Structure 1
Amino acid sequence: MSVEQRNNVKVLGSGPTTMVFSHGFGCDQNMWRFLAPQYAERFRTVTFDLVGAGLSDLGAYDPVKYNHLSGYADDLLEVIEEFAQGPVIFVGHSVSAMIGLLAGLRAPERFAGHVMVGPSPCYINDGDYVGGFTREDIDSLLDTLESNYLGWASSMAPAIMGAPEQPELGVELTQSFCRTDPDIAKQFARVTFLSDNRGDVPRLDAPTLVVQSSDDLIAPVVVGEYLQRTLPNCMLRVVENVGHCPHLSAPCASADAMDEFLATLGHR
């Protein structure tokens, strides 16, 4: 099976630098429709679906491989190897930000920079670290997801999206969650919400932009501030937005932050 088929890879635009966009849990590459096309005027842009999501090849899903974020990082490096030219600017939403971090540690020469949209290296509070959830919160979330995935998706997706003035986005995310194979979604949720990449964060030397919503149920501002302190080369930009998906609900503000960051890399 080709990488293109496995991950439903789409390439647009042209330019000396490639931007690679990777979506978060319960989503697919369509979530980049407000951002990726505008960059295709200056860059080669690559969007794709994580295995198990969107129009990826579900036959490629391996519960052993994807029982850790490193399995997705392996796929990302294969996508970059086949569809990108030179070091890429990687744009990852939510859990994909950490997938990109792992890939960047494994092959730093392939990354010119990282844009992390709503990232979290650890969702669970631990001593002085505030991730936004207690372990009991996460266990309860995963138990509910395990017993009633569609019910969980219908109630959680609008809360995750936020964007109270754009209710259609909450409906869209709910539908996206409900299209995902429940067994794959349950495993990916467990892998995502129990992940802890805090030990990896200080090792990423590449220039990094953290785009943080001012009000985010999943990744509160304090997490973005932690990343700003911990990443060696980090720019933090907080956009006025309610919800975990500013690339959908506040695309102009997200693009402004990205353009500022790209300018520091020499891309205007």
Structure 2
Amino acid sequence: METSAHSLAHASRADRANDDVIRRNAVTVTGRADAPTIVFGHGYGTDQSTWRAVAERFSDDHRIVLFDYVGSGGSDISAYDEQRYDSLEGYADDLIDVIEAAGGEPVVFVGHSVSGMIGALASIRRPDLFSRLIMICPSPRYLNDGEYIGGFERDDVLELLAAIETNQPGWAASLAPAVTAREDLPEVSERVRNLYANTAHRVATHFARVVFFSDTRHRLSEITVPTTLVQSVGDIICPPHIGGYLKQRITGSELVQLDSAGHFVHLTDPALVAEQIRRAL
């Protein structure tokens, strides 16, 4: 009787913990309940809504998990802790929590931009939770470092951080067209501008510093989960040669070059991105 009561209490605590994660990260689960699970992770300054046009294409034959990193979208902003989120490891902790709370592991994780590296870090710690990583426009380091060309000088990043600090709306308006790189799709640029501008200022400044000064190059050899790298052309955040750099350092990884420009290919070309995800499954 005592064992049964103890088990029930333990299960109750686990359920409450999972409920807390679901609420904290605004987790939404759709699609087929009995099908393999795909988890989509968003990049800096955006939220889970950026994945919906892609995710809905898998709802008939997959279970879909969308979520917001703490500080983004519909997440619990009160849970944002600068100490916890002072490195990408804090976000990897959140991703592990989300996968365990939502269930369905091992999952395919699709991560845009910095989410690719967050997924990589989470998979190194818990490879049992992942069946595949699919990274969309990822970069292990954004700063140039000797022969390594990440795309940004330190002074460039300091200027970017100062712009967010002093005039976030203006910064968002100037950066959005450059990162989307699709003059033929002004509605996408406007959507990205709104997302950037409406991110809580406290989060926008701190998360940008964490992202742009992150460096996961030394961890790439530890990735054991099968990995697909999807790289666009004309991406100022993640230059095209970064895909080749990652392929050389992630054992057994596959590199796909998209015939699409910009950093937000899942917004500008959702059908093309969905095609590559399905091909990798």
Whether these two folds match at TM > 0.5 is yes
User: Is it true that 1:92 corresponds to 2:100 in the alignment?
Assistant: no
Picking from 73, 94, 104, the partner of 1:54 is 73
Equivalent residues in 2 for 1:182-261, closer than 5 Å: 182-261=201-280
Structure 2 counterpart SS, 1:137: helix
Aligned match of 2:182: 163
CA distance in 2, matches of 1:157, 1:183: 19
Structure 2 partner of 1:13: 31
Shift of 1:147: 2.1
- What amino acid does structure 1 have at the position aligned with 2:174? S
Q: Is the 8 A contact 1:206 1:233 kept in 2?
A: no
Deviations 1:184-235 (A, max 9, x none): 1100000000000001111101111111111101001111110111111211
Q: Distance in 2 between matches of 1:185 and 1:144?
A: 11
Matched residue of 1:12: which SS? Answer: strand
Over the aligned positions, Cα root-mean-square deviation in angstroms equals 1.1
Determine helix, strand or coil for the equivalent of 2:259.
Answer: strand
Superposed CA deviations along residues 91-132 of structure 1, whole A, max 9, x for unmatched, are 000011111111001101111000101100000111221111
Instruction: Tell me, yes or no, if structure 1 residue 39 matches structure 2 residue 47.
Output: no
Distance 2:243 2:195 in 1: 26
What pairs up with 1:54-93 in 2 under 5 angstroms? 54-93=73-112
Aligned-partner Cα distance in 2 for 1:145–1:30 = 22
Counterpart residue number, 2:10:
none
Give 1:84 shift.
Answer: 2.2
Letter in 1 for 2:22: E
**SS of residue matched to 1:65:** coil
Alignment TM-score, normalising by the size of structure 1 = 0.95
Tell me the equivalent position of 1:266. none
Which contiguous aligned blocks of 4+ residues in structure 1 show a shift greater than 2 angstroms? none
* Counterpart in the other structure of 1:144: 163
Are 2:164 and 1:134 aligned?
no
Verify the 8 A CA contact 2:57 2:274 in the aligned structure 1: no
CA distance in 2, matches of 1:86, 1:185: 31
Contiguous gaps of at least 5 residues in structure 2: 1-18
Identity of aligned residues (%): 43
Among 43, 61, 79, the residue aligned to 1:24? 43
- Is the CA contact (8 Å cut-off) linking 2:92 and 2:121 kept in structure 1? yes
- The one-letter amino acid of 2:28's match is K
Q: Which moved more, 1:195-204 or 1:132-141?
A: 132-141
What CA distance in whole angstroms lies between the structure 1 residues aligned with 2:105 and 2:23? 22
Structure 1 counterpart of 2:198: 179
- The aligned residue for residue 21 of structure 2 is 3
Residue pair 1:163, 1:241 contacting (<8 A) in 2 also: no
Partner SS for 2:189: helix
CA distance in 2, matches of 1:233, 1:248: 28
**TM-score of the aligned structures, taking structure 2 as reference length:** 0.91
> Any stretches of 5+ residues in structure 1 without a counterpart?
263-268
Contact 1:164–1:242 under 8 Å retained in 2 = no
Give the CA deviation at 1:143. 2.0
